[in-house]
Amino acid sequence: GLLRVALSTETINFISAVDGRKYQTTVVLYQSAVKLSGRYSWNLYQLIKSRLLDKSGAFSIKLDELMIELNSRVNLEFKDYKKSVIGRSIDEIVEKTEIKSIKCVNAERQGRRVSKVRFEIEMR
């Protein structure tokens, strides 16, 4: 069989870092990664694992950056994007990986539009 893996920009930067002290090694559990089959789930899982290097349990990201990281440039209103892309991915990640819960909340607005989201993660 053929296994195709899409790496986010942040993951590529992490892998190709010459100074390993800048990025502490993250461990992506192979069993968890293989179980993820959703279109955007694997990319969101990679993003979460790479952003949680400091173990704070939360991070914020601009909505445009999130769409690039998830490779999900879709023309939807945010509420629909959150439900169909982010929500489905979160459900699958929580069900199949070591992550116990993920909350995605609106972190910042520009006018009436959401411009930044915050992910709050709890590990099992």
In this structure, the number of other CB atoms found within 10 A of the CB of residue 108 comes to 13
Quick check: 6 and 47 in contact, CB under 8 A? no
36-66 confidence digits (pLDDT tens):
888 899 999 989 988 886 566 899 999 999 9
Taking 50 as the pLDDT cut, the residues of the chain under it are 25
The domain tally of the chain equals: 1
For residue 1, being part of any structural domain is answered with no
pLDDT score, position 1? 76
For residue 2, being part of any structural domain is answered with no
For residue 43, being part of any structural domain is answered with yes
Inter-CA distances, 76 with 22, 73, 98, Å: 36, 9, 30
For residue 23, being part of any structural domain is answered with yes
pLDDT score, position 55? 64
CATH number at residue 72: 1.10.10.10
Domain of 39? 9-123
Quick check: 110 and 93 in contact, CB under 8 A? no
For residue 56, being part of any structural domain is answered with yes
pLDDT score, position 54? 58
Straight-line distance from the first to the last Cα atom of the chain, in angstroms, rounded to the nearest whole number = 32
For residue 3, being part of any structural domain is answered with no
